[in-house]
Amino acid sequence: MLDSTPIQITLFFILLFLIYFVSKLLLKSLGTLFYFLTHSHKKTIGLLAFLFLPGTIIHELAHVIVAGMMLVESSDIEFMPEIREDGVKLGSAQIQKTDPLRRTIIGVAPVLVGLSLIIGISWYITNSSGISIWVWALMFYLIFIVSNTMFSSKKDMEGTLMVFAILFAILIAFYYVGLLDFNTILSSGWGQTMVEVLKKANLFLSLPLIIDLIILGFVKLSIKKIR
């Protein structure tokens, strides 16, 4: 049952959504906890900036580097977070207006880079022996900050829905005119390889979700005690 590619793809996007949802809750809760501890918006922002700085740098550089590769200008990179009513914005980069396709690729770049790092680090952890406790701590910290800074803002994703809708429509059209046979693809050797890759990816994506849930529970409990 779980060897089905559609099921693994669905599970992948469910895990991705859960990581996104829990990440938003965690960032907002951390901002609340830091404010209760410091009673200062400035210090709260400073603590968030310090904690998530490596992830923020990776996120914004992903935008800028991919924009440069697509000949789209960028400027005004900001690594300091900003506390808003709907959550915490960790950083920003000004990207020149461009066509929807390039805008979409630039917008999702931090997610793709983040997923690659999470899966790569998780693979390293599960396939290495004799790792010191400090390396373990560093690996888990990297997974934590990357998973909580990789998601793009609404502005970053401008035009994304339209591009995905067009691509989806093209795939459906190809399917109905007989140019694309999903059953043949999924039953092929390539399809089976895809299942195995997705199963590994889903297993590795469970790690940042578990880490976030544990930390979120601790932060919520700390806020409750301080109140």
Model confidence pLDDT, tens digit, residues 103-133: 888 888 888 899 999 999 988 888 877 778 8
Contact status, residue 45 vs residue 135, Cβ threshold 8 Å? no
Mean pLDDT of 4-8: 71
More confident residue, 64 or 182: 64
Give pLDDT tens digits for 17-72.
899 899 989 988 998 999 999 988 888 888 888 899 899 889 888 888 888 898 88
pLDDT band for position 175 (cuts 50, 70, 90): low
91, 117, 211 from 146: Cα distances, Å? 13, 8, 12
pLDDT at 86 over 60: no
pLDDT for res 1: 44
More confident residue, 82 or 97: 97
Q: Which residues pair with 75 in a beta bridge?
A: 94
Give pLDDT tens digits for 134-163.
888 999 999 999 999 888 666 665 555 566
More confident residue, 79 or 207: 207
Question: What's the whole-model pTM score?
Answer: 0.79
Give the span between the Cα atoms of 42 and 207, in whole angstroms: 32
**Least confident range of 89-93, 140-144, 218-222:** 89-93
Give the span between the Cα atoms of 38 and 26, in whole angstroms: 18
Q: Where are the domains of the chain?
A: 5-226
CA nearest neighbour of 90 among 140, 40, 37, 146: 146
